[in-house]
Structure 1
Amino acid sequence: MSKREVIIPKGMEVLYEKYHYCPGIKINNTLYISGQVGRDENMQVVQGVEPQFIQAFENVKKVLTAAGATFDDVVEMVTYHVTGQPPVNPGEQQNFTIPHLQLFMQVKDRYFTKNFPTWTGFGITALSTPGLIVEIKCVAVFSD
């Protein structure tokens, strides 16, 4: 039977207690990290594009560290970027881009320096809280 370990870093207790989800769950040698956003320990949205990107990665780092992992252990990253542009007409050709993608990639490269994960990015219209612009979800695999 698989061993399930809930990972709740210091400062993220409210996510489990109030919102009923785990920042991370470790099963055997795999860590599943819930989508992390640019909110501080007081659940306040960080202002500014780059500071919000940094905070989201720092929140991922907190979960990794609490589980005994690093960014080198991350094998998959999925990101959701708010475009602020809902679809106009279904089926119509649309050319939306992800805002600030180059800046996001620069911040990402500060955290992933050698073992790069797979990465899928989505452009979306909104996240759970007004003002949030990115959410980062990861899977990490520990060495045997």
Structure 2
Amino acid sequence: MTQREAIFPEGRHALYDIHGYTAAIRSGDLLFVSGQVGSREDGSPAAGFEAQVRQAFANLQATLKAAGCGWDDIIDVTTFHTDPENQLAAVLKVKDSIFTSKPYPNWTAVGVTWLAGFDFEIKVIARVPQAQTVS
């Protein structure tokens, strides 16, 4: 059986405990990151859509870092949008500032009607660099 290891970003562990889930699970050399929203440390949404997107990416980066990963380790991305037609330009602006070189990760965008008070969520699968894998 493959070992699973819970990964939590620094300073946000209590929020995950309150809601009963793990920020990410490392299994072998793969990292499965739960959906990250644009929440500040207290759990409240960042003000404005683009700020939520930037904060969601910042929260994702903190989770990746906790597992020894970075942007280049991401293989697959899924994003959730409450108004994709009107939000896509802002999301692409932030995304394009982070993923600047090929090959880009796979990407699936999904329109949804509810994200618990948020308007954007991002989840990823990443490969953990060789030196960081759990035996």
TM-score normalised per structure 1: 0.84
1:45-81 CA distance string (max 9 Å, x none) = 1011211110000011000000000010000000000
Matched, 1:119 2:114: no
1:77-133 CA distance string (max 9 Å, x none) = 0000002xxxxxxxxxxxxx53220111110111212241100001111112x2x11
Q: Which structure would you say has the larger Rg? A: 1
Structure 2 unaligned segments of length 5 or more: list them: 131-135
- Give yes or no for contact 1:79–1:122 (8 Å, CA) kept in 2: yes
| Richer in helix (by share) | 2
Size of the aligned set, in residue pairs, is: 129
Report the counterpart of residue 53 of structure 1 in structure 2: 53
Q: Distance in 2 between matches of 1:103 and 1:17?
A: 31
Instruction: After TM superposition, give the deviation of residue 22 of structure 1 in Å.
Output: 0.4
Instruction: After TM superposition, give the deviation of residue 142 of structure 1 in Å.
Output: 2.5
Taking every aligned residue pair, what percent have the same amino acid on both sides? 37
Matched, 1:67 2:55: no
The ranges of structure 1 where at least 4 consecutive aligned residues each deviate by more than 4 angstroms after the TM superposition are: none
Report the counterpart of residue 89 of structure 1 in structure 2: none
Q: Aligned match of 1:109 in 96, 99, 114? A: 96
Report the counterpart of residue 44 of structure 2 in structure 1: 44
CA RMSD of aligned residues (A): 1.3
Q: Distance in 2 between matches of 1:117 and 1:8?
A: 23
TM-score normalised per structure 2: 0.90
